Every structure is written in structure tokens, then in C-alpha cells.
């Protein structure tokens, strides 16, 4: 029987296999090229999206403050604006003032943190919790007023609900609020550390001082006594006040300071009361309502008045009115003290308020000395000083608006 012939198309010859492989290679190549093109397109799109996002984030990376190697950017500043409750400032001017104050607080707290680190002073998380609870759970007023009918009753436990509601209301971050509290708690610990290093003597040389402050520039037809000024709390800082007199219709007359001094001295020699002369001649200044400035050591007299006043006070004879002592509270404006020392003691016990003032002054001096080497670059630097940070009025207002739009 004849052998049946096989169909040649069913057989995979070497030639057909080669063509099949070439087609598979072409398909794979086309798929690879297509995938590569799609990948490139996706990368380009992603880069564009990232660049847009990066450009949007650029203002938030602007440095607003630097203390040594620690920098704070605009994003941090916005967070701290919320932490300090800028949302509660309704007036735009008040908001701007609050904004600059927050910058000062950030700087002060960072200086404290770095000083505390040098002194190995720390704050525990439990201390932060306690402080937050105290701030957001004020004590029951009835307890302070003795209205609690059952003193043995267990007080209601304090919780963080008020704090959490406040965070929601202001948009503030708990992380940054805790950071603020931690830095604030370092302050009293640093002061306590400084207080242990400082010794304020119990007794010092002191004088019992009387004084009158007058201005020689007065309106025509008036005396030195009728010119008034206001003070900001220290007799060495004097600010003029606009009076009700129409300046356009008045003339300023300059009196001789020695003549004013001699007039006061003459009336004192005639046994006139110093308080009466103070009321008539003196401009108001902090520390006295009748010219009696009390007892004080050199440090306090200098702190309140000036080095020159101190030198005169500790050298002048008792009961003698000094010559005019010039002070310049403002550029181009000179006023004069005349002082009289009625008593002087080489070693007199310091009053408690004087010792407190001296201790505070010593702590401030110690703090300034400890932080004097810190390199600080902030928004207050003059751009002409070639500093890195330049924060304009509009920058601060922009940050405030960002803080409000949470």
C-alpha cells in the first residue's frame, strides 16, 4: 500500500521557525518602545506637577529667623501664629503687631532652649501635660472664695477636652503648642539656676535722694512748672505729650537752667517744703509724686536715673541742691535734674523691693553674658548689613493670612 503523504503546512521547518521568532522580536520591540514612550510621558508629567507643587511651596521655605545653626522657615512661623492665637486679633493693625511679637517670641524661646541645653536643663513631658491642663482647666472660682460646701469632695478630674477644642478652633498643631510650652517652662528653671549663682548683699552704701526734673523750653508766658510730660515707667525715659495749647499761636521760650536751679535753691533756703517746689517746678517722672526718691544704692540710682546723677549723689554735701544735671531723653532735646541728698549711710540694709530689683538686674546681666555669643539673623536686621533674612511688611501679613486660612 502506498505511503500517505504528510501535509507540508503542518510541519514547522527551520525557515518558518526563524520567521516566527523574528515576528515575536518585533512585537516585543514595539511593546518596549511604546512602554518607554509612555514612561517618558508620565515622568515629564510628574516633573511638571512636582515643579508646580515645588513652586507653590517655595514661599513656605523662606527663612524668617536663624539662631546659630537653627533656622525657622515661613511654614513654622505660620504654625506658631496659630499657636499664639492670631485668629483672635480682629483689627489688621493688631494682627500685624501680634505677628511681629510672635517672631520675637520664637527668637526668645529658641535662645532659651539653646541656653538650657548648655546648662543641661530639661523639661519632662509630664510637666508639659500639667501646664496645658492648668491653662485650659482654670481652678474653680468657688473654691477660692470658700463656697465649696464639701471641702472633702473629690475635685472633678481635669482633661484635655478644652485644649482639643481650642486646637480645632485655631487650627493650631498640638506638636507646636507643646513645643511652645516646653520652651516657656525652661525660662523659670534658667532663672532659678542663675539665682543660685548670684549673691545680692544684705547691706550697701545708700543715699536718701530728692529730685526735680525740669525743661528749659517752655511756652511764652508760662514757667517751667507748667510744662508736662508723660513717662513710660522709668524716669530716664521721658515722652512728650501734646497739650491742649494751639502750637501755631504760641511761642517757645528757652529759660536758663541755672536761673531755675537758683530759684529753687533760694526757696529751699527759706525753708520752703520740697514737695511744694516739686509740684511747681518738676515734670512728672516715675518714682515720686513729691520729689522724695527714697533710699537707694549706686546700682539702683544709676538704673533709674544716670551715671552722672549717681556720681553727684554720692559726692555732694548733705542738704545742698546740686547744679543742673543734663539728660537727653530725645535727640536734640535736653532736660535737667537738680538733686539733694539729705542722708547718707555707708552700710544700710537694703529694702526688699530694692534687693528684688538688684537681683533681677543681676540675672539680666548674667543672661545677656551667657547669650552674647549667639549669632542671630532675623527680620529686624538692616538689609544693608548683608544679612540673609529680609522679611517685609507684606511677608508678615501674608503669613498671617495663611494662618487664618486653615
pLDDT at 230: 33
Q: Are 229 and 240 in contact (CB under 8 A)?
A: yes
All 3 cell numbers of residue 141? 472660682
Spans of the chain, pLDDT less than 70:
1-22, 45-57, 140-158, 218-250, 252, 286-287, 379-390
Cα separation, 299 vs 126, in Å, equals 41
pLDDT at 392: 83
Cα separation, 219 vs 250, in Å, equals 6
pLDDT at 239: 31
| CA end-to-end distance (rounded Å), the chain | 96
Distance of CA 153 to the CA centre of its chain: 43
Q: Closest by alpha carbon to 186, among 285, 88, 111, 77?
A: 111
Tracing cell 503546512 back to the chain, one arrives at: 9
pLDDT at 30: 77
pLDDT at 142: 47
Give the side-chain half-sphere CA count within 13 A for 354. 22
Q: Are 305 and 171 in contact (CB under 8 A)?
A: no
Taking CA atoms, 127 is separated from 123, 167, 280, in Å, by 7, 19, 55
Taking CA atoms, 135 is separated from 85, 102, 166, 167, in Å, by 14, 19, 11, 13
pLDDT at 221: 53
Cα separation, 402 vs 252, in Å, equals 51
pLDDT tens for each residue of 373-403: 999 887 665 555 555 666 788 888 899 999 8
Q: Closest by alpha carbon to 162, among 152, 154, 170?
A: 170
pLDDT at 167: 93
pLDDT at 33: 79
**Farthest-apart Cα atoms in the chain, separation:** 166
Cα separation, 298 vs 189, in Å, equals 29
Helix (H, G, I), strand (E, B) or coil at 337: strand
Q: Are 370 and 225 in contact (CB under 8 A)?
A: no
Cα separation, 99 vs 156, in Å, equals 37
Amino acid at each position: 500500500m502506498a505511503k500517505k503523504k504528510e501535509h507540508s503546512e503542518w510541519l514547522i521547518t527551520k525557515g518558518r521557525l526563524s520567521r516566527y521568532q523574528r515576528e515575536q522580536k518585533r512585537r516585543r520591540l514595539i511593546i518596549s518602545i511604546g512602554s518607554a514612550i509612555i514612561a517618558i510621558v508620565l515622568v515629564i508629567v510628574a516633573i511638571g506637577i512636582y515643579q508646580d507643587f515645588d513652586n507653590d511651596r517655595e514661599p513656605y521655605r523662606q527663612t524668617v529667623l536663624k539662631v546659630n545653626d537653627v533656622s525657622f522657615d515661613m511654614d513654622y512661623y505660620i504654625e506658631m501664629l496659630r499657636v499664639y492665637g492670631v485668629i483672635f486679633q480682629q483689627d489688621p493693625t493688631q494682627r500685624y503687631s501680634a505677628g511681629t511679637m510672635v517672631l520675637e517670641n520664637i527668637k526668645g524661646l529658641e535662645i532659651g532652649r539653646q541656653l538650657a541645653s548648655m546648662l543641661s536643663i530639661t523639661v519632662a513631658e509630664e510637666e508639659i501635660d500639667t501646664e496645658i491642663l492648668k491653662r485650659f482647666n482654670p481652678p474653680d472660682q468657688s473654691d477660692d472664695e470658700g463656697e465649696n460646701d464639701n471641702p472633702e469632695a473629690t475635685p472633678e478630674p481635669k482633661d484635655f477636652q478644652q485644649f482639643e477644642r481650642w486646637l480645632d478652633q485655631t487650627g493650631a498643631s498640638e506638636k507646636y503648642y507643646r513645643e511652645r510650652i516646653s520652651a516657656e517652662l525652661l525660662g523659670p528653671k534658667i532663672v532659678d539656676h542663675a539665682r543660685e549663682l548670684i549673691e545680692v548683699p544684705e547691706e550697701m552704701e545708700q543715699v536718701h535722694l530728692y529730685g526735680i526734673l525740669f525743661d528749659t523750653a517752655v511756652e511764652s508766658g508760662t514757667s517751667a512748672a507748667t510744662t508736662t510730660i508723660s513717662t513710660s515707667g522709668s524716669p530716664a525715659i521721658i515722652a512728650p505729650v501734646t497739650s491742649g495749647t494751639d502750637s501755631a499761636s504760641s511761642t517757645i521760650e528757652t529759660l536758663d537752667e541755672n536761673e531755675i536751679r537758683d530759684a529753687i535753691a533760694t526757696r529751699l533756703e527759706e525753708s520752703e517744703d520740697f514737695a511744694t517746689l516739686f509740684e511747681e517746678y518738676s515734670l512728672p517722672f516715675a518714682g515720686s509724686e513729691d520729689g522724695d526718691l527714697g533710699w537707694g544704692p549706686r546700682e539702683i540710682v544709676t538704673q533709674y536715673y544716670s551715671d552722672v546723677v549717681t556720681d553727684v549723689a554720692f559726692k555732694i554735701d548733705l542738704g545742698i541742691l546740686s547744679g543742673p544735671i543734663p539728660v537727653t531723653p530725645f535727640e536734640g532735646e535736653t532736660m535737667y535734674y537738680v538733686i539733694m541728698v539729705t542722708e547718707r549711710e555707708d552700710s544700710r540694709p537694703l529694702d526688699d523691693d530694692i534687693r528684688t530689683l538688684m537681683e533681677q538686674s543681676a540675672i539680666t546681666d548674667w543672661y545677656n553674658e551667657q547669650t552674647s555669643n549667639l549669632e542671630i539673623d532675623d527680620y529686624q536686621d538692616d538689609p544693608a548689613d548683608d544679612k540673609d533674612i529680609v522679611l517685609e511688611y507684606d511677608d508678615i501679613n501674608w503669613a498671617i493670612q495663611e494662618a487664618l486660612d486653615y
